[in-house]
């Protein structure tokens, strides 16, 4: 066995001519690690309006991982930490490093002939409950949301996340509050109490507006409200939690276990949402989940990008006692992204299952890697930010 990383390929994929900017459909960043024995591991990094910066950061990580032993996950991550002066504050750097960390685990599993979840403590569950996201493109009115939500229920989903706040940003108008209330109440009436409604705020509000939005919805019993405040205004979460009786979820913009420990220990969050592709990968995810478990906090991993991220995340979901629910965009990806992975996991009747194959468990379609290889920024819309579901950032 030769566990040296021999070759590193940094890959950007995208669909030429696609004009819609969104992290779940426009571009994807992968790293392909090849061992001296010819085994291959894949990792993924996020791209939301930072495709090229992350891609360049991956080249910096490459200099540390080239020739390294892929079994030495802790050592290799810490070695980049030693060199990367701004790592703890740079999502571009942590995202790049996360991709290499995930690919290392994929190689470790393949070298040992084991799925990664068996190397992380084994299965705590046999399947993973999913909630749908990305489903409400072009939804503006309550009727728009209700129609598409009923389709999700017919496909087996028992939970769905959505952003009902239109173009409101920082502040929210009386009309914005009324419309959000009408959307959520309409869905609650149409779907009943057995369907969980997760409210996405996208970190768009100041404290006062977040509280207004939360109070407008709290009697409709949302499963949680995600990122109700601008992420840098974490001090406002204390006032929000004192004012609004809805669980707070956040974490996709936190970069490591220390960030999460701060939010968890100060009781600023009720549900944590780490993202494996920007918070240092699989092993760090286990550590973050353990910190949360010690405080009785459940985990619902953020998962908005591609199938490598999904497979890696599911391997962790399988193993943690405090798992809550798993985000899923799979059904709403463009075809090229759906077809990138030929096998590895399934999403049926609102639940994920893994194949049990070695590594993170997926088989890549090499033709997609060739046909959709690209180089450049993702599309840009001057009106609609890339973090919203397309067609919803309007009155």
Give CA–CA dist 109/361, Å, rounded: 9
Half-sphere exposure (CA, 13 Å, Cβ side) for 18? 23
Active-site residue, from 174, 202, 221, 230: 202
**Residue closest to 216 by CA, chosen among 161, 247, 188, 174:** 174
d(C-alpha 372, C-alpha 357), whole Å: 26
Structure-token pair, residue 255: 């970069």
How far from each other are the two terminal CA atoms of the chain, in whole angstroms? 60
**How many CB atoms are located within 10 Å of the residue 181 CB?**
17
Of 155, 221, 230, 302, the catalytic one is 302
Tokens of 244: 């609004």
CA dist 49 → 25, 27, 92, 201 (Å): 12, 10, 11, 19
- Residue appearing with tokens 């950061």: 57
Tell me phi and psi for residue 8, to 5 degrees: -130, 125
Which sign does the torsion angle of CA 296, 78, 327, 162 carry? positive
Q: Is 242 a catalytic site residue?
A: no
Examine the residue annotation and report whether 202 is marked as an active-site residue of this protein: yes
Tokens of 83: 């060199």
Instruction: Tell me which residue of 108, 185, 195 sits closest to 150, measured CA to CA.
Output: 195
What are 162's two structure tokens? Answer: 């959505």
CA distances from 63 to 58, 93, 96, 308 (A): 9, 13, 12, 22
Catalytically annotated residues: 202, 302
């Amino acid at each position: 066995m030769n566990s040296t990383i021999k070759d590193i390929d940094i890959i950007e994929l995208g669909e030429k001519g696609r004009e819609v900017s969104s992290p779940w459909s426009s571009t994807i960043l992968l790293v392909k690690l090849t061992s001296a024995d010819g085994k291959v591991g894949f990792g993924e990094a996020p791209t939301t309006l930072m495709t090229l910066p992350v891609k360049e950061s991956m080249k910096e990580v490459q200099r540390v991982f080239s020739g390294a032993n892929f079994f030495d996950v802790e050592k290799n991550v810490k070695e980049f930490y030693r060199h990367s002066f701004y790592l703890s504050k740079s999502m571009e750097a942590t995202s790049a490093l996360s991709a290499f960390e995930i690919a290392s685990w994929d190689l470790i599993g393949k070298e040992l002939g084991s799925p990664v979840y068996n190397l992380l403590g084994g299965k705590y569950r046999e399947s993973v409950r999913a909630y749908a996201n990305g489903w409400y493109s072009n939804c503006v009115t309550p009727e728009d949301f209700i129609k598409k939500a009923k389709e999700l229920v017919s496909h087996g989903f028992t939970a769905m996340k959505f952003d009902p706040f239109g173009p409101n940003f920082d502040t929210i108008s009386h009309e914005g509050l009324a419309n959000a209330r009408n959307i959520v109440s309409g869905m609650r009436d149409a779907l009943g109490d057995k369907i969980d409604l997760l409210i996405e705020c996208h970190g768009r509000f100041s404290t006062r507006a977040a509280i207004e939005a939360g109070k407008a919805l709290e009697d409709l019993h949302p499963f949680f409200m995600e990122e109700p405040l601008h992420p840098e205004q974490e001090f406002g979460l204390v006032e929000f939690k004192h004012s609004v009786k809805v669980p707070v979820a956040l974490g996709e913009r936190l970069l490591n276990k220390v960030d999460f420990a701060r939010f968890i220990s100060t009781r600023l969050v009720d549900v944590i949402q780490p993202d494996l592709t920007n918070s240092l990968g699989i092993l760090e995810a286990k550590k973050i989940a353990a910190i949360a478990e010690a405080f009785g906090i459940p985990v619902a991993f953020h998962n908005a990008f591609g199938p490598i991220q999904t497979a890696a995340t599911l391997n962790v979901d399988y193993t943690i006692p405090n798992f809550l629910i798993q985000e899923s965009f799979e059904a709403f990806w463009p075809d090229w992204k759906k077809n990138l992975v030929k096998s590895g996991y399934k999403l049926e009747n609102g639940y994920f299952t893994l194949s049990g194959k070695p590594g993170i468990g997926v088989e890549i379609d090499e033709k997609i890697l060739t046909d959709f290889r690209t180089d450049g920024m993702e599309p840009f819309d001057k009106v609609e930010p890339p973090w919203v579901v397309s067609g919803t950032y309007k009155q």
